[in-house]
Amino acid sequence: MKLRDDVKSAITIQDYTKKPEIDGVQIILLKRLNDDGGSFTELARLVEGIPSDFPSIKIAQINYSEMDPGVIKAFHIHKKQTDVWYVPPKDKILLILIDLREDSPTKDLKMRFVLGDGNSRLFVIPPGVAHGCKNISSKVARIIYFMDKQFSTDPEKCDEGRLPWDFIGVDIWEIKKG
């Protein structure tokens, strides 16, 4: 079959190769059990506050957050705190990670994930990895997240630093088309 020249020059091949991963970021696939009455997902088994799937973290706080459609919450960075994020399967959130650790083997590496969207996964985000998210669905989206440090509003104790939402440009938040 012969294609028109303008079509041939416009065709691209989608890249399906495995993307580089930020050092220390973990993705834990969860089992979602379905039956005729609904579904069940176990987020973590704890022994003295320590999850069996990521034993280097002792849980100190669990939070629940809601985001309106189209909202961007970015970027947060912690010097000491590790976050573990979960987005329910019926929600859809774009997560952006940036490794800002000076001594990291993956320094400046950026990663994009769609959380929820039918999947049940936990994302472990280590200190020094900036993270932000955008609700890319048409309804309220939810995040449940575990932390190994308790949040404090006291500026002397607060471990949550903020960067502008467009810190690495506005294009990072755009939905990829094509």
Kindly report, residue by residue over 131-143, the tens digit of the pLDDT.
999 999 999 999 9
Enter the pTM of the model: 0.89
Q: How far apart are CA 69 and CA 83, in angstroms?
A: 23
pLDDT tens, residue order, the chain (178 aa): 899 899 989 988 888 899 899 999 999 999 998 899 988 999 999 898 899 999 999 999 999 999 999 999 999 999 999 999 999 999 999 999 999 999 999 999 999 999 999 999 999 999 999 999 999 999 999 999 999 999 999 989 999 999 999 999 999 999 987 6
Which domains can be identified in the chain, with CATH numbers? 23-152 (2.60.120.10)
In DSSP terms, which residues pair with 77 in a beta bridge? 161
Provide the 10 A C-beta neighbour count for residue 74. Answer: 21
pLDDT at 151: 93
**The tokens of 154 are what?**
């006291």
